[in-house]
Amino acid sequence: MSSYISVKYRNDQGEENYISLVKGAIKCPSCHALMQPDVLYSYRSNCGTFVFSRCTNQNCEKTFISQYKSLNQRLSNGYMLYAFSSIERDAGVEHKSFSKIISEISPSFVRIYNQAYTAQQLSLSDICGVGYRKAIEFLIKDYIMSKLSDDAAKEKIKKKLLMQCIEQDIDDAKIKAVASRATWLGNDETHYVRKWEEKDVNALCTLIDLTIHWIESEIESERLLNEMPEPRK
């Protein structure tokens, strides 16, 4: 079994590559359990190498930022090797609550969104944008699959490109419009060249909020109409 893992990182110039991290148990800053973290992403700048991780304790699963230091060693895979140095303390980080509708449709969206939200509050703008892009994909695909009963159809949705899902599998015009634009900005967060240079991660979050609003409105409207199909005499 390998004693290190490889993780994607982004630098100040927006370039992406990989580094390798020495595996090892560390203490979660939230629940204080000793665990091997689930590494999500990394960011390198002049200030150091920062790794965005999730606690693997099932009773916690909160995200945190840790700093790693270079061991000045290049592995056979060509990646530089880094070792854990310290936890970046994130006092005051908030988590966003979502409605019962959204939480039941896509608990994965709620989890991923709050990981991105944590990164944003820690001014890790290059990481949070990528996280929000992943969150919107889970929300849209889980929303579509919540309307399907056939397992084979659900599997097709999982494998489809996000924009194809939005264009082909969403009927509501408002959801389709705002989800498309959220995806456009989300894609900008993962690419070297931005197509929407005048828009930032705050605009992306606004479009995600609007997507949530119209999904909730559609589902709640459908529920009430089903409960009240005809006027009472």
Report the alpha-carbon distance of residue 104 to residue 122 in Å, rounded.
Answer: 28
Identify which of 27, 31, 5 has the alpha carbon closest to the alpha carbon of residue 18. 5
pLDDT of residue 92: 53
Res 187: pLDDT:
95
Sign of CA dihedral 127, 206, 146, 57: positive
Summarised one tens digit per residue, pLDDT across range 143-174 is 999 999 999 999 999 999 999 999 999 999 99
- Predicted local distance difference test score (pLDDT) of residue 62: 86
The per-residue pLDDT for 171 is 95
pLDDT of residue 89: 65
Mean pLDDT by 10 residues, the chain (233 residues): 80 81 89 90 81 90 88 88 82 81 97 92 84 97 96 96 97 97 95 92 97 97 94 90
Per-residue pLDDT, 91 = 45
- At residue 90, the pLDDT reads 55
